Amino acid sequence: MSNQSLSNRDLSVLWHPCTQMKDHETFPIIPIKKGQGVWLEDFDGNRYLDAISSWWVNLFGHANPAINAALKDQLETLEQVIFAGFTHESAVELAEKLVTITPQGLNRCFYADNGSAAVEVALKMSFHYWRNCGQTQKTKFITLENSYHGETLGALAVGNVSLYKETYAPLLMDVITVPGPDCYHRAPGESWPDYSARRFTLMEQALQQHSDTVCAVIIEPLVQCAGHMRMYDPIYLKLLRTACDKYQVHLIADEIAVGFGRTGTLFACEQAAVSPDFICLSKGLTGGYLALSAVLTTDQVYQAFYADYQTMSAFLHSHSYTGNALACRAALATLEIFRQQNIIEKNRFLAGIMTKAAMRFHDHPHVAEVRQTGMILAIEMVKNKHTREPYPWQQRRGLRVYQYALSKGVLLRPLGDVIYFMPPYIVTEQELLLIADVAWQGIQQATQD
Ligand code: PMP
């Protein structure tokens, strides 16, 4: 097997996500033979440092021995069982643990099998809760500008990144979109808390105006990841929690990308000391091994569905692979690593290295901003540093950085012209310095004309 032979077979039968397939006439697809720790290896023996955790899922490396061992054990006993009318030990134990480690008050766990599905579940549950409470006029959702919540139709509707949404707009439910707290737009000299708090007045207005018809506000706490890794201050979440209580609207925290230590705390909501009414989890939940998601909610929500069958108030949403035993077991092994190895503390050290490694980018003539929240560091490449005029998107400068980095053995898939580091938590100091060096050279090359 070689890169060439497997890519030929791939390109004759496969259709890849988030890809203009014609691009592969020019850029080769990379067939991966194996993964080990932060490294991926192709069939020609080239190695790639997975600096974006394989789309933000991998926390403790590829082929992690502890997760592998747990999965082998689980395989010997149970791989999957129908989750209606039946249960199993890994699903129960995982729910017990999630209830314990998530923000206070989230005492019920509903499983689904990917991030978008979790968002659909949270939206439907919130709407259905109000309906069960007799508030049938509540049918709308409030979302933030530049937000992303997945790509099934409901999740896409509550997102706002036009690249993914615009084409499908005629298919999507109407939502109320509020300008966001993204601190890239703060005034010169204005602090993150000041700007985020100032922007909250727009959310407050929307809630004041629409709360009668609104089920929930859905938000990505602290970092809008797919929206170019834009960041904001925890004060916004604090204000939002208070306002959601005041106006009787649910708060849905989509921690699919930011959960499990990415922002410096186990969950991003902790930094604002708030508990949402729903938290959506996926990606890092299984350490990047298997598709699984969970929506945790409150006793109050759960109780509104708990009644005699004849009332027809049950939540009948289902997916075939709900609570998959292998996925739950991988998640348990992942949580065990967090517990045993004091990961959040260790990540503080790694985040510090990332900060230092990215220092020199601040003065780069084509970098408008270097921003960081915990284990996410983003570098915004622009045409004009002073006016922040972006490069014309058609020039695909970020793609040039991506290709340069691949040629140097680093996987740094950008979001447009934003280059970001979001490595597995087992990355070493030397590897972080390599990522930063390669990113620097890549940005130099991509911005030279
Ligand atoms: N919400 C957020 C915040 C995400 O970043 C993503 C995935 N990038 C999703 C939802 C959707 O998850 P999935 O790709 O598993 O459907």
Nearest alpha-carbon partner for 124 in 113, 110, 114: 110
Domains and CATH numbers, the chain: 31-63+343-446 (3.90.1150.10), 68-341 (3.40.640.10)
Contact 420, 435 (CB under 8 A): no
Kindly report, residue by residue over 334-355, the tens digit of the pLDDT.
999 999 999 999 999 999 999 9
Which ligand 1 atom lies nearest to the CA of residue 116?
Answer: 16
15 class by beta-carbon count within 10 Å (0-12 exposed, 13-18 middle, 19+ buried): exposed
Atom 14 of ligand 1, residue of closest alpha carbon: 115
Smallest CA-to-CA distance from 67 within 261, 336, 343, 294 is with: 336
Contact 358, 386 (CB under 8 A): no
DSSP β-ladder status, 47-50 and 367-373: unpaired
Q: What is the pLDDT of residues 14-24, one digit of tens each?
A: 999 999 999 99
Q: What is the pLDDT of residues 87-117, one digit of tens each?
A: 999 999 999 999 999 999 999 999 999 999 9
Nearest CA to ligand 1 atom 7: 150
Q: Which residue's CA is minimally distant from atom 5 of ligand 1? A: 257
Q: Which atom of ligand 1 is nearest to the CA of 257?
A: 5
CB atoms closer than 10 angstroms to residue 166: 8
> Tens digits of per-residue pLDDT, 363-384?
999 999 999 999 999 999 999 9
DSSP assigned state of 232: -
Q: Give residue 129's pLDDT band: very low, low, confident or very high (50, 70, 90).
A: very high
Q: Which atom of ligand 1 is nearest to the CA of 150?
A: 11
Name the closest-CA residue to atom 15, ligand 1.
115
Tell me, what's the pLDDT at 92?
A: 99
Exposure of 208 by Cβ count < 10 A (0-12 exposed, 13-18 middle, 19+ buried)? exposed
Closest ligand 1 atom, CA of 147? 3
Reported as type and span, the H/E element at residue 230 is: strand 230-231
Rg (the chain; Cα; Å): 22
Average pLDDT, the chain: 98
Q: What's the 255 CA to ligand 1 centre distance in angstroms?
A: 9
- CA-282 nearest atom, ligand 1: 15
pLDDT in the model for residue 275:
98
Residue nearest to atom 2 of ligand 1 (CA): 149
- pLDDT attached to residue 85: 98
Q: Express each pLDDT in 196-242 by its tens digit.
A: 999 999 999 999 999 999 999 999 999 999 999 999 999 999 999 99
Ligand 1 atom nearest the C-alpha of 224 is: 3
Pocket of ligand 1 (CB under 6 A): 114-116, 119, 148-150, 220, 225-226, 254, 256-257, 282
Q: How far apart are CA 425 and CA 157, in angstroms?
A: 32
Distance CA 48, CA 38 (A): 8
Please give the distance, rounded to the nearest whole angstrom, from the Cα atom of residue 422 to the centre of ligand 1: 15
Check residue 14 and give its pLDDT: 98
Q: What is the mean pLDDT of residues 358-363?
A: 98
Given this model, what pLDDT does residue 63 score?
A: 98
pLDDT band at 142 (very low <50, low <70, confident <90, very high): very high
Position in ligand 1 atom list of the atom nearest CA 56? 8
**d(C-alpha 79, C-alpha 256), whole Å:** 24
Hey, whose CA ends up nearest to atom 13 of ligand 1?
115
- Share above pLDDT 70 across residues of the chain, in percent, rounded to a whole number: 100
Cα 204 to ligand 1 centre (Å): 26
Query: What is the distance in A from the centroid of ligand 1 to the CA of 444?
Result: 31
Q: Whose CA is nearest to atom 9 of ligand 1?
A: 150
- Ligand 1 geometric centre to CA of 119 (Å): 9
Measured in angstroms, how far is the CA atom of residue 448 from the centroid of ligand 1?
34
Span between the terminal Cα atoms of the chain, in Å: 39
Distance (Å) from CA 357 to ligand 1 centroid = 28
Task: For residue 426, give the nearest of 364, 375, 370 by alpha carbon.
Answer: 375
